[in-house]
Chain A
């Protein structure tokens, strides 16, 4: 099994940390992982993206231009990455702020109202965990217990009191996935 994922959105949406938690979850269950952020001028405001790969085998290139799954969280990223999903692959997006919805017929398209759900939960910071939950519903490549272990490793100890809220966000994301 090799899953090659691009996660792309605005800086501040938790794109990089979502990738990191996913990578840590893979690590926790003994898989090979890689996490490659865009670190160019775009990290200084604007769009942000990370390529995360989880595999049973040695990972070759950490940078790709074809993905099994694209998780898209803003319009710019939709414009850039929709065409880069492998045929038969998955595209997951939050329709909030999306003007031009994905049009490809040869891939599976999913939606999650993550902005809306996070707002309802009273903490917009869990937005990325809602999206992660929706992704794990599509591709349960890592077990929930390992996600929680990965989460614990990824966030500072002072924020560990927020682990239950994050878990709830992941579960809400799983429940709210819609196939487009």
Chain B
């Protein structure tokens, strides 16, 4: 195994992982704080390394529709952007989900609404997990908390996308995108051959042989009963996703009286807060969400029986906390703490929030 250690930015790790995972295409449009993804790809010239296509589209809308086209041909295609750009992509994402195609979308979140600011935030949770576009669909949403996970989740994301024929989103943020950490780089995976693609994706529109009917990629069905049948099929798929793909990390929860529930950079801030709280003798653990959808409802149910309360730490006005409250079902106190607008909370503020809102509350 040719394993290699590098110091990389989260955004660069996404880009290198795309090449190494054998992706066929990246379509994007630059926006802070994720422009290093396309910058790195352009500098690396992956068409020379693996034949992977990298193209700066004329807009975010164009980029997601290029992904739609490539995915329809069974290709491993991805795009990345930051919040305002991801809003632009929502129509395309809904169509891709409606056409049941695999692809990877990376959102390095910045504060909003609107153009907001370029500083980190986690205020796109609703958009990622509840369907930013129209119609009853879900994305599988992965939330990396380190540069290593930025790297690892590209391959995992593609794997899940093809397994379920569903778009997968990596929801990162400006902190994880911009920071540098140690990354273990995996070996180069070969891109699939056209024959392998046909075998893996019998639905792909790659030319019609005489042996089968036409493959059609569409999200349109004008017959209501048939559309409902399709909706029920999607629901069945999401149920399978919920049963099989929940991912999370428990840190110091064995003896914990209180749980900080967090993901991405907030989980990192919470780890520091946990150390500060434990130094004061307060037994605190962390539930770090790795999948935002599916949400780890079951483990929260189990923790609810053991602990005295939960604090959702997220850099938003309170989005993920709604799913936490649904999982806890008002059996134990639940509160939210977050800073907004690109302001990053200090670990000491998390300590204070837990003390005031849950322990003293």
Interface residues in chain A, defined as those with a beta carbon under 8 Å from any beta carbon in chain B: 20, 23-24, 27, 32-37, 39-41, 59-65, 153
Contact = CB atoms under 8 A, between A and B. Distances in A.
Contacts of A64: 272, 346-347
Contacts of B118: 39-41
Contacts of A62: 175, 179, 181, 265, 268
- Among B5, B181, B348, the most chain A Cβ lie within 10 Å of the Cβ of B181
List the 8 closest A-B pairs by CB distance, nearest first.
Answer: A60-B271, A61-B272, A35-B180, A60-B272, A36-B179, A65-B346, A61-B269, A39-B178
Contacts of A37: 178-179
A153 B178 CA distance: 19
B348 A65 contact: yes
B174 interface: yes
B346 to A, nearest CB: 5
Contacts of A65: 346-348
A153 B7 contact: yes
Contacts of A27: 5, 7, 182
B178 A36 contact: yes
A23 B7 contact: yes
A57 to B, nearest CB: 10
A63 B344 contact: yes
B180 A20 contact: yes
Given A61-B347, A63-B344, A34 B269 contact: no
Contacts of A24: 7
A63 B175 contact: yes
Contacts of B275: 60
Interface in B294-332: none
Nearest to A39: B178
Interface in B1-36: 5, 7, 32-33
A78 B104 CA distance: 44
A65 B347 CA distance: 8
B180 A61 contact: no
B276 to A, nearest CB: 10
A10 to B, nearest CB: 20
- Among B33, B179, B180, the most chain A Cβ lie within 10 Å of the Cβ of B180
A23 B269 contact: no
Nearest to A154: B7
Contacts of A153: 7
Contacts of B348: 65
A39 B174 contact: yes
A110 to B, nearest CB: 26
B119 interface: yes
Interface string B19-55: 0000000000000110000000000000000000000
B138 to A, nearest CB: 30
B191 to A, nearest CB: 28
Contacts of B265: 62-63
25 contacts: A23-B7, A23-B180, A24-B7, A27-B5, A33-B7, A33-B181, A35-B7, A35-B179, A39-B33, A39-B174, A40-B342, A60-B268, A60-B269, A60-B271, A60-B275, A60-B347, A61-B268, A61-B269, A62-B175, A62-B265, A63-B175, A63-B265, A63-B344, A65-B346, A65-B347
A59 B7 CA distance: 15
Contacts of A40: 117-119, 342
A156 B130 CA distance: 45
B181 A35 contact: yes
A20 B7 contact: yes
A83 B303 CA distance: 39
A37 to B, nearest CB: 6
Contacts of A60: 268-269, 271-272, 274-275, 347
Contacts of B5: 27
A60 to B, nearest CB: 3
A170 to B, nearest CB: 19
